[in-house]
Amino acid sequence: MTTVLRVESVTVAVGGHVLVRELSTEVPAGRMLAVTGPPASGKSLLLQTVAAERAPMSGRVVLGERPTSHPEVRADTGYVPQTIQVLDALTAAENVALPLLARKVPAEEAWKRAEEQLGRLDLNTALWHNLAEQLSGGQRQRVAFARATVYRPQLLVADDPTSELDSASAELVVSVMRDLAGAGSVIVLATSDPELAARADLRLDLGDLAGIPAPAAGL
């Protein structure tokens, strides 16, 4: 049976403000959904909910037959938050190898796959063994994206994954997402870039949904 991500009557709120109300949608395996909308429309909060980083006010998100909050589903979910999160005390290569080692991938294979992923995202080999804190914003974003995708997750949730990147690097990120989709993964991304949104198979514009209040700062 083909795996499908189902968002079922999900309501997302913060500080008493409902940003997404009773949303239902589906994303089949092998497809990429772009979530768009004006600032403060709830894109990041919705992606956090899909990735089970926060609970919805109501409704549920299911991958196949299990909620995305299920431990086995979470273990097979790559999440790239809007705020770049890398481990500054580790090198770029160590950041990317870490999730593989945590999954008991043999060390030699883990390092090889980590370096291949960094190379695919065109991070200069001279930087692979630099501490993450020494990298630029765009380099850190590529490391974070490589770490979330190196183990080929069944579900990838990426919040504005090209915000710090030039067009060439952004194209590499799209290529990795496309390959994951081609292998049967479900991809959900939020973006404010209309060109990136146009590359997705499906699009969900939160600004078009009824019941969204006027934007509030910081949401």
Q: How far is CA 103 from the centre of its chain?
A: 19
Amino acid type, 215: P
**One domain for residues 47 and 102:** no
Residue 195 to residue 11: CA distance in whole angstroms: 28
| Residue at a domain's end among 113, 133, 152 | 152
Residue type present at position 20:
V
Q: Which of 152, 172, 191 is the last residue of a domain?
A: 152
Domain count, the chain: 2
Residue-wise pLDDT for 52-110, tens only, equals: 999 999 999 999 999 999 999 999 999 999 999 999 999 999 999 999 999 999 999 99
The answer to whether residues 11 and 41 belong to one domain is yes
CA nearest neighbour of 2 among 35, 38, 26, 36:
26
Residue 38 inside a domain? The answer is: yes
Structure tokens at 113: 């796959």
Q: Which among 37, 32, 76 has a CA at the least distance from the CA of 173?
A: 32
Q: Which of 169, 168, 174 is nearest to 187 (CA)?
A: 174
Please tell me what DSSP assigns to residue 183.
Answer: T
Residue 59's CATH number: 3.40.50.300
The residue type of 103 is R
Amino acid identity, residue 25?
T
Q: What are phi and psi of 10, to 5 degrees?
A: -85, 130
Whether residue 91 sits in one domain with residue 135: yes
- In a shared domain, residues 12 and 62: yes
Could you tell me if residue 67 is left (phi over 0), alpha (psi between -120 and 50 degrees) or otherwise beta?
beta
Judged by DSSP in three states, 206 sits in helix
pLDDT digits (tens, 9 = 90+) for 109-166: 999 999 999 999 999 999 999 999 999 999 999 999 999 999 999 999 999 999 999 9
Residues of the domain holding 175: 1-76+154-210
**102 and 145, same structural domain?**
yes
Are 155 and 186 within 8 A, CB to CB?
yes
Residue 216: pLDDT above 50?
no
DSSP 2-62: --EEEEEEEEEEETTEEEEEEEEEEEETT-EEEEE-STTSSHHHHHHHHTTSS--SEEEEE
- Is 55 part of a structural domain of the chain? yes
Shared domain check, 148 and 165: no
Mean pLDDT of all residues in 195-208: 93
Judge whether 215 lies within some domain: no
pLDDT at 42 over 70: yes
- What number of CA atoms fall less than 13 Å from residue 182's CA on the CB side? 6
Question: For the chain, what is the radius of gyration of the CA atoms?
Answer: 17
